Amino acid sequence: MKNTTLKNSIGIFIIILILCIVIYPKTAMSIPMNKLFDETVLITDNTLKFVTPPPDFRAYFMLQSIDDTTVILISNFTNPEKVITLIIDEGSDNTVDSVVEYFPERKRFKRMKKIESKSIKSDIAELKKDIIEGVIFEKNYSYQMKSLNALKKKINEGSDRYFTDAGTRIVIYDSEKTSSPTSEFFFKVKEDRYDLIFRTIYYRLYHTIIQPPISFSVYCRNSKDPVVSKYAKELLDMIPR
């Protein structure tokens, strides 16, 4: 009799536990972060092998410009054929020098001289702007990356700005956990070179904390890209001197 009662109690406890997880996802659900690659190293063909589709199939978009080369990473995981595209601008002059498509399910590459996908803008200057301004995240099923508007709003508020010889750092903190940063931005202008970095550490979607597997939507260091230059100068002009 005691064993039957104990089994019934355990069964009821398990049911209650399952209901708590379903009803109160705030305490039980979050999408963990995976660092897919080192953002400080220029993305190459080989990097694409590590850019795996996330569980919810949201798209990744990233602008990376290091020294003299700019690349754009774009993914599409909602179509039957999942594909990751790397657009390479070797001279950072808004010219497409090569395009690589990687199909993760087949583990195959396709290399081209120009953008062939109709879903990707052929004007890469506009594509770079869309990533920096956040337009591309708004128009696609992707992670909600903090972009230019959020940065400008934070600058105008006049808080959480940090100035060093290395550049200007702006931080957005969690409204519920005020000591926890959700997004970070960095920019610098030095002679004819520019730094511009946008990072979304996590964001809240209802009761769920979501951490984008690729936290940097923009990572530009010592760049000479004219689009990066435009925005870095614009942001610097907003800072009181």
pLDDT per residue rounded down to tens, the chain (241 residues): 445 544 444 444 444 333 333 333 332 223 333 467 888 999 999 999 988 889 899 999 999 999 999 999 999 999 889 999 999 999 999 999 999 999 999 999 999 999 999 899 999 999 999 999 999 999 999 999 999 999 999 999 888 888 877 889 999 999 888 889 999 999 999 999 999 999 999 999 888 999 999 999 999 999 999 999 999 999 999 987 6
In this prediction, residue 37 carries a pLDDT of 82
In this prediction, residue 4 carries a pLDDT of 52
In this prediction, residue 164 carries a pLDDT of 78
Q: For every residue of the chain, which 3-state class applies, written as one string?
A: CHHHHHHHHHHHHHHHHHHHHHHCHHHHCEECCCCCCCCCCCCCCHHHHHCCCCCCCCECEEEEEECCEEEEEEEECCCCCCEEEEEEECCCCCCCCEEEEEECCCCEEEEECCCCCCCCCCCHHHHHHHHHHCHHHHHCCECCCCCHHHHHHHHHHCCCEEEECCEEEEEEECCCCCCCEEEEEEEEEECCEEEEEEEECCEEECCEEECCCCCEEEEEEEECCHHHHHHHHHHHHHCCC
In this prediction, residue 7 carries a pLDDT of 47
CA dihedral for 44, 49, 50, 55, sign (positive or negative): positive
Q: Given the structure tokens 């005691």, which residue do they identify?
A: 2
Cα(209)–Cα(188) distance, rounded to whole angstroms?
A: 30
In this prediction, residue 10 carries a pLDDT of 43
Question: Domain locations in the chain?
Answer: 28-238
pTM (2 d.p.): 0.83
